[in-house]
Amino acid sequence: MPGNEQYPGARRRPGSKKGPTKGSGGNRRQGLEGRGPTPKAEDRVGHPKARAKARAEARAAQPTRTKQLEKIRRRFDVPEGYEIVCGRNAVAEAARAGVPISRVFMAVSAESDDRLGAVVRRATLIGCPVLETTKLDLEALTDGAVHQGVAIEVPAYEYTSALDLLDRARAVGHTPLLVALDQVTDPHNLGAVLRSTGAFGGDGVIIPERRSVGVNATVWKVSAGAAARVPVARETNLVRTLETLKKEGCFVVGLDGGGETLMEDLSLADSPLVLVTGAEGAGLSRLVRETCDVIASIPISQTVESLNAAVATGISLYEVDRLRRAAAKA
């Protein structure tokens, strides 16, 4: 334009070519590629499902209660063959009876009473360590049994023989009264039988080695300490043992719902007796039944099929004790 030649306007410098007017020129290529598929809800940060997944993974990483209890049991290292006896009555009776105690476990929060005092005194007398524990420790040691804040560690139960039971009764001038269990496998039944035997003047319990429960922690607990006072004989062959006792002057009375003699009318009550109880349901085995001198029964209502082995034994022991006391007064 005339008059403006001295102002030619903006000019591009050589070598300064302007970039493309559209796009980024490749500078934001990753952004152009896209973000891929939408992540799952549990993989999105801040999403409720993601938080729930994180909590579940945290719980899974923590030790389970079962593993925690197993770890505690390993820490206390109970020797093989030893039993953990728990419950205040069972523990106190064991202490009073002089049962060898290797360790006492007592919860810190346990309230003291005469039974705990007897245990602590016994432990002090024999130099037995008393360990303060938590309730969780006791739960692990007792496999979840009702421990009442105290437990003791005792060596494996020492069984005696049937003839020894007989000799002990005669040594104190007592008419022998023994109980034999035929294939009773429930520890609750054995514990209850021991308790009834001690309550009604029995001199001991006989169990076979095979197909029978032995004296374990459950038996100690159920017997409420009677296992410390009532001796238990373990014999290889129950039939042979009963025959031996018969030769020693004992009468063998089997308990069965179909027995012809009622326990309340048993004429042999004041004689040396062996009461034999069979397993619940199966009853007395054939050979044991044939060995019995008398098969006695307990009258019950027709609405009930049978009695529990421990209940039947307890009632029979009571009847024998009642008949003996009545005979002594006559």
What's the pTM value of the predicted model, to 2 decimals?
Answer: 0.70
89 half-sphere exposure, CB direction, 13 A CA radius? 12
How many whole angstroms separate alpha carbon 185 and alpha carbon 172? 32
How many whole angstroms separate alpha carbon 44 and alpha carbon 245? 80
Tokens of 201: 């003047």
Give one DSSP letter per residue of 73-117, joined into a string: HHHHTPPTT-EEEESHHHHHHHHHTT---SEEEEETTPPP-HHHH
191 in Cβ contact with 164 (< 8 Å): no
pLDDT digits (tens, 9 = 90+) for 200-243: 989 999 999 888 888 887 888 888 778 888 899 999 999 999 99
Confidence class for position 6, pLDDT limits 50, 70, 90: low
Residue 297 main-chain phi, psi, to 5 deg: -135, 165
Q: In terms of residues, how long is the chain?
A: 330
pLDDT of residue 11: 67
CB-based contacts of 295: which residues, under 8 Å, 6+ apart? 253, 254, 255, 256, 258, 259, 260, 261, 289
Q: Which domains does the chain have, with CATH numbers?
A: 65-154 (3.30.1330.30), 162-329 (3.40.1280.10)
128 in Cβ contact with 120 (< 8 Å): no
DSSP E strands in the chain: the ranges are 83-86, 103-107, 130-133, 150-154, 177-182, 204-208, 232-235, 251-255, 261-262, 273-278, 294-297
CA-closest candidate to residue 293, choices 258, 261, 325? 261
DSSP reduced 3-state for 229:
coil
How many whole angstroms separate alpha carbon 204 and alpha carbon 310? 15
Region 267-285 average pLDDT? 85
pLDDT digits (tens, 9 = 90+) for 20-67: 556 565 666 666 566 677 788 888 888 888 888 888 877 776 667 777
Task: Name the residue with higher pLDDT: 88 or 6.
Answer: 88
CA-closest candidate to residue 101, choices 73, 74, 82, 77? 82
pLDDT digits (tens, 9 = 90+) for 125-160: 888 888 888 888 888 888 777 788 888 888 888 899
